[in-house]
């Protein structure tokens, strides 16, 4: 009996999530297809029913994070994806720069866990990585207050500031996860979060 479309999609989603966790732990190059499928409870042969190459899977793992809801994975977070503007930007900062995110290696955003891998990856992976960054920057741009004029900020200026705030958040977490000293890791995270929230206002 052939599998239903729903079953195939659930299987695909499971492979993507297992791949993302393993890529986060070990990096793209160090993870094999066999390891990914084993982690998902499946055989290697099933991989090619869903993806042509490991790089295709890498791209899908990055794309999937665009729809990630932190409240589904990390307890105690007040995160409502229907919010917009400043409220959405603020909750994004609080979740992204949370202790839960920092401590959850498997659940890290690809921009934190895999920047070097993405830089060496295929154009499709780079495009997925770019789209994720632009999406995050757009959320921040929509939530940032004007610098001087209370009237509407020019789109180009808002975009620049959104990119800068994204770089602050991602860079702070990349640095924080680099060190073994838990207190210092948390100090970097808290300092980054405090400044990011101050910029949102």
CATH, residue 87: 1.10.357.10
Q: What's the whole-model pTM score? A: 0.87
Distance of CA 16 to the CA centre of its chain: 14
Task: Find, among 59, 67, 173, the residue nearest to 113 by Cα.
Answer: 173
Residue with tokens 């210092």: 184
Q: Which phi and psi angles does 166 have, rounded to 5°?
A: -60, -45
Q: Are residues 188 and 146 in the same domain?
A: yes
DSSP secondary-structure letter at 53?
Answer: S
**Is residue 9 assigned to a domain?**
yes
Query: pLDDT tens across 38-87, in order?
Result: 999 999 888 999 999 999 999 999 999 988 888 889 888 888 888 989 99
Is residue 138 a contact partner of residue 162, using CB atoms and an 8 Å limit?
yes
> Any idea which residue has 């890498």 for tokens?
58
What does pLDDT average to over the chain? 91
pLDDT attached to residue 137: 95
Q: Is 136 exposed, middle or buried (0-12, 13-18, 19+ CB in 10 A)?
A: buried
CA distance 4 to 176: 43
Residue 12 and residue 93 in one domain: no
Same-domain pairing of 179 and 117:
yes
């Amino acid at each position: 009996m052939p599998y239903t479309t729903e079953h195939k999609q659930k299987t695909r989603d499971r492979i993507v999530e297992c791949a993302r966790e393993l890529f986060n732990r070990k990096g793209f190059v160090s993870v094999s297809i066999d390891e990914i499928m084993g982690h998902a409870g499946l055989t290697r042969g099933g991989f090619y029913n869903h993806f042509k190459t490991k790089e295709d899977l890498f791209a899908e793992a990055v794309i999937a994070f665009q729809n990630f809801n932190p409240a589904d994975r990390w307890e105690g977070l007040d995160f409502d994806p229907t919010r917009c503007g400043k409220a959405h930007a603020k909750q994004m900062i609080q979740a992204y720069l949370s202790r839960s995110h920092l401590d959850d290696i498997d659940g890290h955003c690809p921009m934190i866990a895999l920047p070097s891998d993405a830089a060496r990856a295929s154009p499709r992976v780079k495009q997925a990585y770019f789209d994720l960054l632009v999406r995050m920057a757009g959320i921040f741009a929509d939530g940032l207050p004007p610098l001087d004029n209370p009237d509407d900020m020019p789109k180009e200026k808002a975009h620049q500031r959104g990119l800068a705030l994204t770089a602050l958040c991602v860079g702070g977490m990349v640095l924080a996860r680099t060190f073994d000293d838990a207190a210092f890791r948390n100090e970097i995270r808290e300092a980054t979060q405090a400044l990011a929230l101050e910029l949102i206002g």
